């Protein structure tokens, strides 16, 4: 993989400045103005380290400049390795210079090899060519290219210091950012399937709530509790799940949580006990919450900020079919078989998802992957082998040491979401908006089937089909809006940083997600008014369904992306923190939903909800756009930089 021609002049300048004093003769570097710095692989042996290594060549001109100043060899000489004295960078360096190019290797550093592929061009190069080069490539392009690579180097060095190891350069195939697209998408689909089961289970009892109430002897309020207690479990499950995922990785806790869900979901209808039904729904939700807790963080592990919307769209492709599939399954099963089979069928579906997940899922969490690499390197060092350049000095890192203080570290990690809620004001803004949106959403979900049965006289199966409108709205918001959010994000970066052609783009920031919040905040109350008043006046069913779809287009995907952009490695903890209020309101709102509509009917009932949302949520985009950066900075030190 070669760098684009636009970036080549940056290396031409650096090489000319460095090589001329070293090699002396003017024509000794006539080939270098056409030099192309790229990536290739080869086997090389370094006797000083005593082993052969296969490394990917990483091109960083800043190191090329340093190394060439020390090379005593001339162009065209046989390839050989020369030890270079410490250049005040605390490490030894090894350099090669031969007919195929220039190479530099560092010892105990994250850069393993640098290669310059020579593209020989006839003719002499001198001062005139310098002028030509400068005309073709402004200094700002050279500075931008060099600065980008310096940032990559600094990032890898930070990983090494923090986790005991780092990747073998920015293109290391073991880095989840560099995995093939097919692998990322397959993992995203598996995470989406898990979230789909979570949402199906949330809504599957809505259409069968009458039959469940009759068989278990539940009054209206208790029946709503049996429905909404699931959301209470979704509120508290992410805390231990997020903590363990940030200690031991995403994969193991995902598998364990699904096993827990299958067990308790299958026990819900056993014995027709209302106590077991309520307790089983709550405990099953603790396991099911892994879908909501880890889907976003896993995608963040694999996709960079500029692709955040696309990644969330991949993970959200299947889950938002849940609000439609749940009631449809509930209506069909309760009418054609019997409602206990709702739980058994869901458990069977999740078992299939679990088997697929065990096959497809790979660990994505960078800190865990690097800690594992550090342990391997330390073991090799202790066995008398060499320590590869990406290793730190010998360290105690093994599986038993990791688990020896498990509970003390679990406590620290479980406290982190609460620390974020207490010390980070930006979390208050995001949590309130997200919580209110989700509370209204679950209220609508719990009463939608009742509207069609009681007001429109439809059967359970027919009433369940209207949930398709809810899924259509959410799917449009995530699939179209998620990709649109990435476009807006990139254009805002270009606006802020691209003052001239070829200039370096600035780092992205969470505030670039804010513009996409505006359509969602406008659509949600508009849909509530539309759905409520058309239902109260008994308009044609398609009018009501369109209103419900518009309501659910008021997606909160931008808030999720904003949170993940800010907290990154601790995205699971931040996700748990912002969702706790959402799930608590998701538990509370359906309980008072029957009384709300009995008193105010659908028109004014939905209008009250819309007015509350307008008053609390409308200021959020302006607040985050104007003061978001300052809000994010408050409390950052008290939460260890996050």
Cα 590–Cα 591–Cα 597 angle in degrees, nearest 5 = 70
Average pLDDT on 163-184 reads: 84
Per-residue pLDDT reduced to its tens digit, 336-349: 888 899 999 999 99
Average pLDDT on 111-128 reads: 36
Question: For residues 339 and 350, what is the distance between their CA atoms, to the nearest angstrom?
Answer: 18
Q: Which of 432, 117, 197, 176 is nearest to 299 (CA)?
A: 176
* DSSP three-state, residue 455: coil
Question: For residues 161 and 413, what is the distance between their CA atoms, to the nearest angstrom?
Answer: 20
**In the structure encoding, which two tokens stand for residue 568, read together?**
């990154």
Per-residue pLDDT reduced to its tens digit, 289-330: 998 889 888 988 898 888 888 888 888 778 877 777 888 888
**In the structure encoding, which two tokens stand for residue 33, read together?**
């103005």
Q: pLDDT higher for 260 or 25?
A: 260
Q: Which of 448, 210, 525 is nearest to 339 (CA)?
A: 210
Per-residue pLDDT reduced to its tens digit, 227-239: 888 988 988 898 8
User: Element (H or E) spanning 96, and its range?
Assistant: strand 93-98
Per-residue pLDDT reduced to its tens digit, 31-46: 222 232 332 222 222 3
Per-residue pLDDT reduced to its tens digit, 408-423: 777 878 888 888 888 8
pLDDT of residue 414: 83
Q: Who's near 338: CB < 8 A, 6+ residues apart?
A: none
* DSSP three-state, residue 556: coil
Question: For residues 544 and 532, what is the distance between their CA atoms, to the nearest angstrom?
Answer: 8
Percent residues over pLDDT 90 in the chain: 19
Per-residue pLDDT reduced to its tens digit, 573-603: 888 888 888 888 888 888 888 889 989 999 9
**In the structure encoding, which two tokens stand for residue 121, read together?**
């061009």
Question: For residues 209 and 206, what is the distance between their CA atoms, to the nearest angstrom?
Answer: 5
Per-residue pLDDT reduced to its tens digit, 131-154: 333 333 344 444 444 445 555 666
Q: What is the mean pLDDT of the chain?
A: 73
- Which letter does DSSP use for residue 100 in this model? T
Per-residue pLDDT reduced to its tens digit, 86-96: 333 334 444 44
pLDDT of residue 151: 59
Per-residue pLDDT band for 535 (boundaries 50, 70, 90) equals very high
Per-residue pLDDT band for 354 (boundaries 50, 70, 90) equals very high
115 - beta bridge partners? 103
Burial letters 440-462, b for 16+ CB under 10 A, else e: bbbbbbbbbbbbbbeeeebebbe
Contact 351, 193 (CB under 8 A): no
Residue 12 has pLDDT above 90, yes or no: no
Residue 3 has pLDDT above 90, yes or no: no
Cβ-count burial of 21 within 10 angstroms (0-12 exposed, 13-18 middle, 19+ buried)?
Answer: exposed
pLDDT of residue 100: 43
Question: For residues 490 and 187, what is the distance between their CA atoms, to the nearest angstrom?
Answer: 25
**In the structure encoding, which two tokens stand for residue 213, read together?**
């109430």
Question: For residues 341 and 335, what is the distance between their CA atoms, to the nearest angstrom?
Answer: 11
Percent residues over pLDDT 70 in the chain: 70
Q: Are strands 41-46 and 114-117 parallel, antiparallel or unpaired?
A: unpaired
Cα 377–Cα 105–Cα 143 angle in degrees, nearest 5 = 115
Residue 245 has pLDDT above 70, yes or no: yes
CA-to-CA dists, residue 174 to 58, 102, 166, 236, angstroms: 15, 26, 10, 33
**Which range in 39-43, 124-128, 284-288 is most confidently predicted, on average pLDDT?**
284-288
pLDDT of residue 6: 36
Cβ-count burial of 383 within 10 angstroms (0-12 exposed, 13-18 middle, 19+ buried)?
Answer: exposed
Does the domain at residues 176-364+405-639 carry the CATH identifier 3.40.50.1100?
Answer: no
pLDDT of residue 104: 47
Question: For residues 91 and 314, what is the distance between their CA atoms, to the nearest angstrom?
Answer: 44
pLDDT of residue 394: 43
pLDDT of residue 498: 56
Count of residues for the chain? 642
Domain range list for the chain: 5-163, 176-364+405-639
Average pLDDT on 475-491 reads: 83
**In the structure encoding, which two tokens stand for residue 443, read together?**
């209220």
Question: For residues 456 and 25, what is the distance between their CA atoms, to the nearest angstrom?
Answer: 92
Per-residue pLDDT reduced to its tens digit, 431-465: 988 889 888 988 887 788 888 988 888 887 788 88
101-106: strand order across its sheet: 36-37, 114-117, 101-106, 93-98, 81-84
Contact 105, 169 (CB under 8 A): no
Question: For residues 339 and 209, what is the distance between their CA atoms, to the nearest angstrom?
Answer: 9
Question: For residues 30 and 537, what is the distance between their CA atoms, to the nearest angstrom?
Answer: 83
pLDDT of residue 331: 80
What is the Rg, in whole angstroms, of the alpha carbon atoms belonging to the chain? Answer: 29
Q: pLDDT higher for 63 or 513?
A: 513
Average pLDDT on 1-29 reads: 31
User: Element (H or E) spanning 110, and its range?
Assistant: none
Helix, strand counts (H, E) of the chain = 24, 7
The lowest-confidence range among 275-284, 314-323, 609-618 is 314-323
pLDDT of residue 150: 55
Residue 390 has pLDDT above 60, yes or no: no
Residue 128 has pLDDT above 50, yes or no: no
């Amino acid at each position: 993989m070669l760098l684009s021609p636009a970036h080549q002049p940056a290396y031409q300048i650096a090489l000319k400045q460095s090589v001329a004093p070293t090699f002396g003769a003017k024509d000794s570097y006539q080939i270098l103005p056409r030099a192309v710095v790229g990536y290739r692989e080869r086997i090389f042996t370094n006797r000083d380290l005593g082993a052969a290594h296969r490394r990917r060549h990483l091109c960083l001109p800043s190191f090329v400049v340093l190394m060439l100043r020390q090379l005593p060899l001339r162009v065209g000489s046989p390839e050989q390795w020369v030890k270079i004295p410490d250049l005040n960078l605390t490490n030894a360096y090894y350099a090669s210079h031969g007919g195929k190019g220039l190479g530099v290797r560092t010892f105990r550093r994250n850069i393993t090899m640098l290669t310059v592929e020579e593209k020989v061009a006839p003719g002499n190069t001198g001062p005139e060519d310098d002028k030509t080069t400068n005309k073709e490539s402004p200094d700002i392009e050279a500075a931008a290219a060099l600065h980008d690579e310096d940032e990559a180097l600094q990032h890898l060095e930070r990983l090494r210091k923090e986790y005991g190891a780092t990747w073998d350069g920015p293109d290391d195939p073991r880095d989840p950012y560099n995995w093939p697209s097919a692998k990322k998408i397959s993992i995203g689909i598996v995470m989406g399937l898990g979230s789909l089961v979570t949402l199906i289970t949330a809504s599957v009892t809505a259409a069968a709530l009458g039959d469940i109430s009759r068989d278990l002897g539940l009054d209206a309020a208790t029946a709503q509790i049996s429905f909404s207690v699931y959301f209470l479990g979704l509120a508290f499950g992410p805390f231990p799940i997020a903590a363990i995922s940030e200690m031991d990785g995403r994969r193991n806790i995902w598998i364990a949580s699904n096993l827990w869900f299958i067990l308790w979901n299958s026990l819900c209808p056993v014995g027709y006990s209302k106590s077991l039904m309520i307790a089983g729904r709550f405990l099953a939700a603790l396991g099911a919450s892994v879908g909501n807790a880890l889907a976003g963080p896993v995608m963040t592990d694999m996709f960079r900020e500029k692709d955040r919307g696309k990644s969330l769209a991949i993970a959200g492709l299947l889950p938002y079919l849940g609000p439609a599939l749940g009631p449809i399954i509930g209506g069909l099963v309760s009418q054609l078989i019997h409602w206990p089979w709702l739980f058994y069928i869901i458990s069977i579906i999740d078992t299939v998802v679990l088997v697929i997940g065990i096959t497809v899922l790979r660990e994505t969490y960078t800190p865990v992957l690097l800690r594992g690499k550090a342990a391997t390197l330390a073991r090799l060092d202790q066995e008398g082998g060499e320590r590869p350049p990406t290793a730190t000095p010998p360290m105690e890192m093994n599986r038993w040491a990791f688990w020896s203080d498990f509970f003390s570290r679990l406590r620290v990690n479980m406290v982190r979401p609460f620390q974020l809620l207490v010390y980070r004001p930006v979390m208050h803004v995001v949590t309130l908006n997200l919580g209110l949106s989700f509370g209204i959403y679950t209220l609508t979900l719990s009463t939608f089937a009742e509207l069609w049965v009681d007001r429109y006289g439809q059967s359970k199966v027919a009433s369940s089909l209207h949930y398709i409108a809810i899924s259509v709205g959410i799917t449009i918001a995530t699939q179209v809006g998620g990709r649109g959010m990435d476009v807006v994000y990139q254009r805002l970066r270009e606006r802020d940083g691209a003052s001239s052609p070829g200039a370096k783009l600035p780092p992205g920031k969470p505030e670039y997600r804010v513009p996409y919040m505006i359509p969602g905040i406008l659509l949600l109350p508009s849909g509530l008014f539309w759905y409520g008043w058309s239902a109260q006046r008994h308009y044609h069913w398609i009018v009501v369904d369109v209103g419900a779809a518009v309501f659910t287009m008021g997606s909160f995907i931008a808030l999720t992306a904003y949170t993940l952009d800010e907290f990154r490695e601790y995205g699971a903890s931040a996700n748990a923190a912002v969702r706790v209020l959402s799930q608590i309101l998701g538990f509370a709102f359906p309980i008072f939903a029957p009384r709300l509509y009995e008193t105010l009917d659908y028109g004014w009932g939905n209008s009250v909800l819309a007015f509350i949302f307008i008053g609390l949520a409308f200021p959020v985009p302006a607040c985050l756009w104007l003061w978001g950066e300052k809000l994010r900075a408050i409390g950052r030190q008290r939460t260890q930089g996050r």
